[in-house]
Amino acid sequence: MPDLLIQHARWQEELVTPDDKRLVSGKGCDCICMGCDEPLILRRGKVRRWHFAHYKDQGMSCSEKSLIHNIVKAWIAKDLKGQTILLPPHPELDSPQEFCVEEGWPEKWSKETKRRYDVVLEGRFLYEKVEQEKRGCLIFEVYYSNAKDDDFKLQTQKEKSYILEVNAKLFYRDGIDLTIEKLMENSEWLWFTDQQKEEKERRKQERLQQKRREQRLQQKKREQKQIRKQNWSGFHKRENIYTIVKEWIFRELTCFWLYELDTPLGLDAPFKDCSLLDSKGDIPLRFEIKKRWKDKYSQKTGRTYDVVFEGRFVYRIGNHCKRGHLIFQLEDQWDPYDRDFKLEIRKAKFCVIGVNTEKFYGANLTIERLIENSHWLW
């Protein structure tokens, strides 16, 4: 142990440090090594930190592992007596918050479990409620490089023992500043086996994934609900516009000028196919309304039309006119009439005008604006 300055030794069955005032410097300190039971020299120099050392021709069989292991056990049993230890939450058993140490023994044999433990502390477990306590034993198992195996952990579970495992190498380090806080930082409950830890971690990950799936599902539902709400709001807005425009056309229109409307097939296409051209081949100028209907059903096409007018198609020459029907269908950018609808009205020889409600609707509803935003559906 060339790098380790020994900071603890046994003197008259006590664990002592180099600064103990009862000790005499040099070879007369009467201290024994905790690792090999050989006598030690107490060196209190002015350059190096005070420490114990083996005699020159001794200590060859002493290992750092056994030395630190025995020192930590003796320190826990001696220095924790009369102290209160703050405990971490136990993974399975009820979780006391503190343990008040009344007595402690290193290397104690248990008749109940027929097992030898490194350190057994006797005292009282204290809980959150002040009046709640339970007498029992808190056990420390000390390891330097090899932790307890799965068989020991399974036996601990069976006995339901409160056992903390201490990493002596991390806790002891250079042998100074040994405190309860430092001890607990390098200790953990001895309970789960490696297989149980893997299984617990797997279940934890499964629960986490399930929680994430549920969160994604809830988020998707919220988004869908928001979309439905927006669509429903937009639907009602569109329905309101439809209703207003339909009612305005139904009530306000008495005459409609036809010559300003055009189709991709030519100006006279709807009138020609519907036999509404006069003897000279002229198109009617206007349509004068006599009767009107809203949401009128046609047995010919099996379809309901928004506004249907009955009246006269008036031509250029005199009062020449023809009787017939003019239909208004409301549409917008989300609901344009398709090719099948147009073929259907051409086959039925209906004069149908499409009105773009989104463009037409506004503060001032006039016939001029209606004509600007209307076109033949043909």
Question: Picking from 150-154, 312-316, 319-323, which range would have the lowest pLDDT averaged per residue?
Answer: 319-323
Q: Which two tokens stand for residue 313?
A: 């198609």
What pLDDT does residue 357 have? 85
- Nearest to residue 41, comparing CAs of 20, 18, 61? 18
Residue 210 included in any domain: no
Contact 284, 313 (CB under 8 A): yes
Q: How far apart are CA 169 and CA 64, in angstroms?
A: 10
Note whether 122 and 176 are same-domain residues.
yes
Cα-based angle 341, 342, 344 (whole degrees, multiple of 5):
65
Do the Cβ atoms of 124 and 99 come closer than 8 Å?
Answer: yes
Same domain, 27 and 102: no
DSSP state of 99: E
The total number of structural domains in the chain stands at: 3
Residues 58 and 131 in one domain: no
For residues 56 and 117, membership in a common domain is answered with: no
pLDDT in tens, 177-199: 899 999 999 999 999 988 888 89
Domain end point (choices 173, 192, 211): 192
Is position 3 within any domain?
A: no
pLDDT of 74 strictly over 90: yes
- Which structural domain, as residue segments, surrounds residue 54? 9-62
109 and 73 belong to one structural domain: yes
Q: In whole angstroms, give the CA distance from residue 265 to residue 365.
A: 29
Question: What are the distances in angstroms from CA 36 to CA 23, 64, 66, 130, 173?
Answer: 20, 10, 8, 45, 19
C-alpha–C-alpha distance, residues 44 and 26, integer Å:
8
Instruction: Give me the long-range contacts of 28-34 (CB less than 8 A, separation at least 24).
Output: 33/6, 33/9, 33/59, 33/62, 33/67, 34/8, 34/9, 34/10, 34/67, 34/70, 34/71, 34/74
Half-sphere exposure of 174 (CA within 13 A, CB side): 6
> pTM (2 decimals)?
0.55
Q: Same domain for 246 and 364?
A: yes
- Hey, what are 91's tokens? 């993974």
- Is 161:113 a contact under the CB 8 Å cutoff? yes
pLDDT tens-place string over residues 362-375: 778 888 888 888 88
Q: Which two tokens stand for residue 207?
A: 């629960």
Are 81 and 38 found together in one domain?
no
Same domain, 372 and 275: yes
Parallel/antiparallel/unpaired status of strands 51-54 and 39-43 = antiparallel
Place 119 in a pLDDT band, splitting at 50, 70 and 90: very high
| 12-42: pLDDT as tens digits | 989 999 999 999 999 889 999 999 999 999 9
Statement to judge: residues 248 and 368 lie in one domain: yes
Residues 41 and 164 placed together within one structural domain of the fold: no
Phi and psi at residue 369, in whole multiples of 5°?
-65, -35
| 202 lies in some domain | no
pLDDT (average), residues 206-213: 90
Q: Is the pLDDT of residue 236 over 60?
A: no
Same domain, 261 and 372: yes
Are 75 and 106 spatial neighbours (Cβ–Cβ below 8 Å)? no
Neighbours of 344 (CB within 10 A): 18
Whether 248 is in a domain gets the answer yes
Percent with pLDDT over 70 in the chain: 91
Residue 195, token pair as written in the block: 């297989």
Same domain, residue pair 137 and 57? no
Q: Considering the domain boundaries, does residue 234 fall inside one? A: no
